[in-house]
Amino acid sequence: MAGLFITLEGMDGAGKSTHIPTMLNLLAASGREVVATREPGGTPLGEQLRELLLHQEMHVETESLLMFAARAEHLQQLILPALARGAIVVSDRFTDASYAYQCGARGLPLAKMQALESWVQGDLQPDLTLLFDVPVEVSLQRLAGARTPDKFEAQGAEFFARLRAQYLARAAEFPQRFRVIDANRSLEQVKKSVEEIILSL
C-alpha cells in the first residue's frame, strides 16, 4: 500500500499542536502504521539543528540552508523509508513553513527556496496539508500568555502578517493538497473540522 504524507502548518500560536493527538488517534484507528514527526527536527541531527535554528540569530540564507540540511536528513532517515513501508507520516511543519517564514516573513527570494526544495525533495510533496489559520492579533495574544518565546515567536505583528499572507498564498496556489482550518473558533469546533478532514481520507 502506498504511504501517505500529511503535514501540519500555521503561525506560532495558531494552536496546531493541540490537535495532533486527536489526529494521530484517528489515523491509528485505520490500522495503518502512523509515524509522527516534526520540523525542524525528526532525527538526532535534526533536533540539534533545531536548537540552533530556534535560538540563534543568523542570516536568512544560513537559516534556509540549515532548515534544508535538517530536512534532507529527515527525508533520508525517516520520511522516505516510512512512506516506502506504506506508513502514514504526519509531520508538524514541512517545506511550506520555509516558504512562509524564510521567504514570506524574512524575505528570501522564492527562486532560492524553489532551488533548495527541488534539490532536497525532488518531486516529493505532501499528499495533504492542514493549515491552521488565525488572524495575526489572535496569534500574538495566544503567544503572549505562553512560555518563553523562541526567536520566531518573539517577532512582532508585521512579521506575523507577512507570514500569514505567504501561508494563505501557498494554500491558494495548491488547493488540491491544502485544507485551511479556521482556528479562530472554540477548541471543540476546530477539533470537529480536523476529524472531518481525517475521516474523509
Residue 57 CB, nearest approach to ligand TYD (Å): 13
Choose between 12 and 73: whose C-beta lies nearer to ligand TYD: 12
Q: Which is nearer to ligand TYD, 43 or 102 (CB)?
A: 102
Q: Which stretch binds ligand TYD (CB under 6 A): 75-83, 96-104, 122-130, 174-182?
A: 96-104
14 annotated among ligand-binding-site residues? yes
Q: Which of residues 76-95 bind ligand TYD (CB under 6 A)?
A: 92-93
Q: Which is nearer to ligand TYD, 33 or 112 (CB)?
A: 112
Name which position in 49, 75, 89, 97 contacts ligand TYD (CB under 6 A).
97
Identify the residue among 6, 27, 35, 40 touching ligand TYD (CB under 6 A). Answer: 40
Please state, in angstroms and rounded to a whole number, the distance separating the CA atoms of residues 44 and 67: 14
Instruction: Write out the three cell numbers for 186.
Output: 472554540
